[in-house]
Amino acid sequence: MTSTTVASNEPNLTAFDQKQVDLLNEACILVDENDNVIGSESKKVCHLMENINKGLLHRAFSVMIFNSKNEFLLTQRSDEKITFPGYYTNTCCSHPLFNDLEMEEGGAIGVKRAAQRRMYLELGIDPLQVPLSDIKFMTKFLYKAPSSGMWGEHEIDYALVVHKDVTLNPDPNEVRSYRFLARDELVPFLGESCDDDD
């Protein structure tokens, strides 16, 4: 991308957690609406609403883990996260990076590698516990949402599913809380959680 395409104003990051600020330097994969790679930009540049409103789009993934009881692992993002702090989300969501391993496209293998990396970093799930063959690519979709003020998301999001019992050791800088929920518990729980936040 050219410098005229992306925001020229540097956001003030002093109020944010330094570990999360450092992660803003990661190189995300820029794509068009057909998921064709067109370049790379930092995570910071990709998540500024000023750039999102200009059409900047990047590749991402969402992992949904179900245990042997078919309960869904729901996580709550830490309050230190820059985008969507404290929000409930799927098991793990992040971005493949602009490198050969995570850009490999056949069978979504690069995205699966990225998911394996982030499940370890966020939730402490050993990659040997969830080999790539256990990560099922379901579909991909266009996702766009503002977070707060200057931040947001605009992604081609790969939906990945894992059916497996896993051992968790979450990083509190990434995950505030987590729980397994049966299908009939999910909507009531999220409704109560939204009411609590009012």
Residue with tokens 């009411």: 195
What length does the chain have?
A: 198
The Cα-based distances of 87 to 25, 61, 109, 185, 195 in angstroms read: 23, 17, 28, 18, 13
- Which one from 93, 102, 122, 174 is the annotated catalytic residue? 93
Annotated catalytic, 93?
Answer: yes
Sort strands 58-66 and 152-163 into parallel, antiparallel or unpaired.
parallel
110 φ/ψ angles, rounded to the nearest 5 degrees: -65, -40
Dihedral sign from CA coordinates of 42, 45, 51, 57? positive
- Which one from 41, 102, 155, 174 is the annotated catalytic residue? 155
Annotated catalytic, 28?
Answer: no
Which amino acid, 92?
Answer: C
Q: How far is CA 53 from the centre of its chain?
A: 20
CA distance 186 to 8: 42
Beta bridge mates, 61: 94, 158
Q: Which residues are catalytic?
A: 93, 155
